[in-house]
Amino acid sequence: MKNIQSKSFNGVPLSILDLAPINEGEGTTQSFKNSVQLAQTVEDLGFHRYWLAEHHNMPGIASSATSVIIGHIAGATKRIRVGAGGIMLPNHAPLVIAEQFGTLESLYPNRIDLGLGRAPGSDQATAYALRRTLHSSPEDFPNQLDELQSYFNPEPTARVKAYPGTGLDIPIWLLGSSDFSARLAAEKGLPFAFASHFSPDYTTMALKKYRDNFKPSEVLSEPYAMVGVNIIAADTDERAKWLATSMQQQFLSIIRGKPGMLQPPIDNVEEVWSPHELAASEERSQSRSTMVGAPDKVKQKLASFLAETQANEVIINSQIFSQKDRLHSYEIVANMMD
């Protein structure tokens, strides 16, 4: 696997997952400006890679044209790896993804990652709107993956070839929030990224199945697992908890089926949530993969998480409304790194 000069936390590289949030009262243009500033900042701070995720029909997430914004971020940075966390492959013709990422790799050599998921990245109606045919299914994912990988072969035998793409060494990751992609990544000998930041209960199971079933390949001789976490760090526990109410409101909007823009922090969540919703949010925010607090608290919880999961890498999601507070949160985490 390709590496750049980066720092680490207890020997583990730390990376960034940016959902390109659109804040209430702002717009997409400002979201992209914020992402560029964040990418440049974390590159200077020593983070390892910077990924963006494909979502659709989500008014609070600006990264739907994921390949386009990856190119924008890569062009605004110099060293940090930039990639997809991930491209939802069932939404696309594999040839198109091979050409897009072949183009990105040609523009920014040795800096592009291609993480792949099998979910649509939205609701069922939007999934149908995105499909090449209405018969496409996430269950076709293994075949789509094989087709995509074939386009990067240095000596492809198929009649249709990817230009650019053919012969390029672009790291492919499989992403998942259950054990399906864990098993497939193990079978293919690929690196695996687990979305523990929104599916914490399945983390141990998925990592175990990946490691237990891993088969060495030309890509990897042993398993390599990256795990997602939520981190909201501030100078005090009280401020971090207050900042985290933006993430909690976003979670609430999703479980209500009414996703919206990222909201500013609020002082009293009990005023807007029912007891049931509050309990669900608190259970999520107190999970091992969500770390909210002052530096010492976050550092302790991150160290405990790494000891438990034995993750090879951690990718951090920080849904913080204020750009200044978001940057400061990553600065706090950077100060924990070696």
In a domain, residue 254? The reply is no
So what's the pLDDT on residue 1? 44
Residues of the chain above pLDDT 90, percent: 78
Report H helices in the chain: 28-45, 66-76, 94-107, 124-130, 141-151, 180-188, 203-213, 237-255, 275-285, 295-309, 323-334
133, part of any domain? yes
Using one digit for the tens of pLDDT, what is the confidence trace for 249-271? 998 888 888 889 999 999 987 77
Sign of the dihedral through C-alpha 47, 320, 228, 69: negative
For the chain, the domain total comes to: 1
**Chain mean pLDDT for the chain:** 92
Residue 283 lies in a domain: no
Q: Is residue 175 part of a domain?
A: yes
**Residue 3, pLDDT above cutoff 50:** no
Q: Which domain holds residue 220?
A: 14-238+289-334
User: Residue range 189-215: average pLDDT?
Assistant: 95
| Amino acid identity, position 155 | E
| Residue 233 belongs to a domain | yes
pLDDT (tens digit per residue) in 106-145: 999 999 999 999 976 566 777 778 765 556 565 789 999 9
Lowest mean pLDDT among 56-60, 113-117, 231-235, 239-243: 56-60
The pLDDT tens digits of the residues spanning 146-185 come to 999 999 999 888 899 999 999 999 999 999 998 899 999 9
Return all residues near 238 (Cβ < 8 A) that are at least 6 apart.
Answer: none
pLDDT of residue 8: 95
Residues linked to residue 226 through DSSP beta bridges, in sequence order: 193, 313
| Domain annotation covers residue 141 | yes
Mean pLDDT check: name the lowest of 15-19, 158-162, 272-276, 333-337. Answer: 272-276
What is the CATH classification number for the domain harbouring 296?
Answer: 3.20.20.30
Q: If you average pLDDT over residues 307-336, what whole number do you get?
A: 98
Asked whether residue 284 is domain-assigned, the answer is: no
Cα separation, 120 vs 295, whole angstroms: 36
Per-residue pLDDT, averaged over 81-94, amounts to 94
pLDDT at 253 (0 to 100): 86
Mean pLDDT of 280-287: 70
| 2 falls within a domain | no
Residue type for position 174: L
Q: In this predicted structure, what is the pLDDT of residue 5? A: 63
Predicted confidence at residue 158, as pLDDT, reads 84
Whether the full predicted model's pTM is greater than 0.85, yes or no, is yes
What value does the mean pLDDT take over residues 286-308?
A: 95
